[in-house]
Amino acid sequence: MEKMQENLRQFLNKCKKNLRLPKQLRISLEIIRGVAFLHQQTPPLVHRDLNDKNVMFSFEGVVKIGDFGQSKLKKDLYLTSGQPGMVTFMPPEALDVDASKYNESLDIFSVGVLMLEIGTQQEPLVNLRGIGIIPEVDRRERDLKALGAEHPLRQPVLLCLKDNPKERPKASDLQRDVLALVDGGVEVYMRLYVYMYVTKLLFLVHMCLTCLECIDFLAPLTLNVSFTYVFGMPEMYG
């Protein structure tokens, strides 16, 4: 068994909300790739317990999915066994005590929660009341607000958190969409970084020029005040 360095929650705690966008996208993509691999098996393997403790980093920084204790092969159209996984990462159909019925889309929902956690770098703040009654986007309103309206992961997250499992994307489609964000996001991020750097540089240049003008203007006054204070002879500068 391979020894891991840390899990996703430990990693995000260590980042202290300073995880840059390209890294957020890359980690999300690696998780999705792992899930896509599971779902492409014959029959598909449903993890059923994807959470921030079961996504781990190797000592080389490779993202890996672990803890397959809850995993099941999907030999029929749906799985119906018990409530799987951590409640905060589970979709409403898996938490229905009377008629629990789900398929691979359960993992997709969990991936959405993980991406939301990666984007906000905070543990899920989901309201545990109203499961299956209150829409998931409302139950997770605080996290979505923390993510922000312009975050690149917002749209994939919203798709994964659909209440109707049939409306959630397949892992392969999600992988394609997030890969496009990774490829385009790095370029956008670098452009933004260069823009911010140039803007800051121009601001500093402006401030330096302003300070030089102030020095030229204030120097005589400063000299007068200093001599007046030290020698007490204001008449010298009348």
Catalytic (active-site) positions: 67
Asked whether 175 and 29 are in contact (CB, 8 A), the reply is yes
Distance CA 78, CA 100 (A): 10
Q: Sign of dihedral through CA atoms 130, 133, 135, 138? A: negative
* 8-state DSSP, 3: P
Q: Where are the alpha helices (DSSP H) in 16-124?
A: 21-39, 105-120
Residue in the block written with tokens 């997709």:
108
Instruction: Give me the residues paired with residue 65 across strands.
Output: 55
- The count of residues in the chain is 238
Tally of CB atoms within 10 A around 186: 14
